[in-house]
Amino acid sequence: MTADRTDPEVPTPYGVVRGRWEHGVAVFRGIPYAAPPFGPRRFRPPVPPDPWDGVRDAGAFGPTAPKPPYSPAFARYLSDPDIPGDDCLNLNVWTPDPAPAARLPVLVWLHGGALTRGSSAVPVYDGHSFARDGVVLVSLNYRLGIEGYGLFPDAPANAGLRDQIAALEWVRESIAAFGGDPGLVTLAGQSAGAISAGALLAAPRARGLFRRAVLQSGAPEATERAKVRRIVRRMANRLKIPATAEAFAAVDRALLLRVQGEVGRLSSPVLGGPAFGIVVDDDVLPRDPLDALVAGDAAPGTDLLLGWTRDEYRLWLVPGGLLQRVDRLGAVALAGARARCRCGHDVPRGYRALHPDAGTAEIVGQMITDHLLRVPLHRLADARAGTSYVYEFAWPSNLPDLGACHALELGFVFDSGDLPDARRLAGEGAPRSLAEAMHTAWVRFAATGDPGWEAWDASHPVRIFDGAGSPHTVRGLRDREVALSGSGGGRRSRLRA
């Protein structure tokens, strides 16, 4: 906190909040954008928070949404703070100038975590660097797992997605007082956050709430309703209750999380299994979001920044030693990958021909990555040529076996690589120049819609961030693999990290 500055105070539609000055940036944490989603509001759409009198302190992160912890194997690499309390529908704001006259670009961040974990309190998501560089950063919590994405006959679907819309509505109504421009909002997310952003691009109720979108390692998709029903039924069977919202609402919260963690152990990009996900419904998401976006029926004219990491799959396979087991399984693992990607023998043979020195785990991992990510993102970029920008993050972690894995780019996008939590994935000595280049591109995109390289066209330009000198553009990167994987058909499944 700066000694010669009083704590900043800003009015919102529900009351005044008091933040803190931290390293020249005004920070407000734990601001409620909706009422606590428990008691009679459990499993229901969000409603506005109750107004408060006086000044509400916004110096600390608010409660996080209920969620099970990561397994020890994943917790080694991914931090996930757990802050107790019911008032979990809250958000945070970092701004260099909390004054209506500033009219700065805004970036709204949706965290990842497979729609079952994660929060805005993850240290890597610190918004100081964005605010330092003239962008108001907003990060938010939303309901997760059974609370946010359970599918019941007696409650509306997609509660977590509805929370995100409520937060965007709060931004539209409130962000000007924090120095942001409500007409210059970029929605950004990674993994499940990117899948959410893709759904919001296609959600009629979210139209006009943001101008640009960033999808990092996640593509627009809707999960099959039957898949979500299966995980709800499995939880209900374990709990010996009906598979209804009314019955689940009566279960102790800690027990519910424990059972959710137990039945969700096989929900991964590699293993598949029943999972929570965003579904098509009659209210919020009337159509598969990728189909709607490719057809041009949703978010016309929205600038898009899309991309992936080179070795996404390594975060799915390295923890717990699955990478080595897949290599040992050989043909059995390849058969599982064919089933997972719903393709014939020609697809893994084609990958082997393109990469003759690759091991089985790499072939399996890249097949699944292309199926989940690169094929749908190519489709989206092709449909939005001229307003889409595509990147690949290719710098390998300094930790063994991780390579350029899923979520590794986050410390570079947020320029938060000096934090211990960022080093959990990157190791020591991550290149500062790479963080500067990547963070600058995201800032530029939020401000102008142009991250600094060519928009997608028939030559398929992909910006490579690999730390080997300046970022550079490669045309047609991975086109042959994407053509192979795309020929396999089938639908996508959700990312799980």
Phi, psi dihedral angles at 259 (to 5 degrees): -70, -40
How far CA 366 is from CA of 338, 380, 405, in Å, comes to: 12, 19, 11
Report the run of H or E that residue 410 belongs to, with start and end: helix 410-413
Phi, psi dihedral angles at 362 (to 5 degrees): -70, -40
- Residue 46 in tokens: 């969000």
CB atoms within 10 A of CB 289: 27
Q: What is the DSSP letter of 454?
A: P
Pairing between β-strand 212-216 and β-strand 303-309 as defined by DSSP bridges: parallel
Phi, psi dihedral angles at 465 (to 5 degrees): -110, 100
Asked if residue 263 lies in contact with residue 238, where contact means CB atoms within 8 angstroms, the answer is yes
Name the residue among 145, 155, 157 with its Cα closest to residue 115: 145
Asked if residue 438 lies in contact with residue 456, where contact means CB atoms within 8 angstroms, the answer is no
**Rounded Cα gap, residues 12 and 49, in angstroms:** 11
Q: What dihedral do alpha carbons 320, 323, 329, 333 form, nearest 10°?
A: 110
Q: Assign residue 262 a region: left if phi > 0, alpha if psi is -120 to 50, beta otherwise?
A: alpha
Q: Where are the alpha helices (DSSP H) in 298-374?
A: 314-317, 322-329, 331-341, 346-354, 360-369
Q: Which distant-in-sequence residues (6+ apart) come within 8 Å of 487 by Cβ?
A: 343, 346, 347
Catalytic residue annotation: 191, 312, 406
Through-space distance between the first and last CA atoms of the chain, rounded to whole angstroms = 34
Q: Which residues pair with 190 in a beta bridge?
A: 216
Burial 398-430 (b: 16+ CB within 10 A, else e): ebebbbbbbbbbbbbbbbbbeeebbbbbbeeeb
- CA–chain centroid gap for 332, Å, is 31
- Residue 28 in tokens: 């407000």
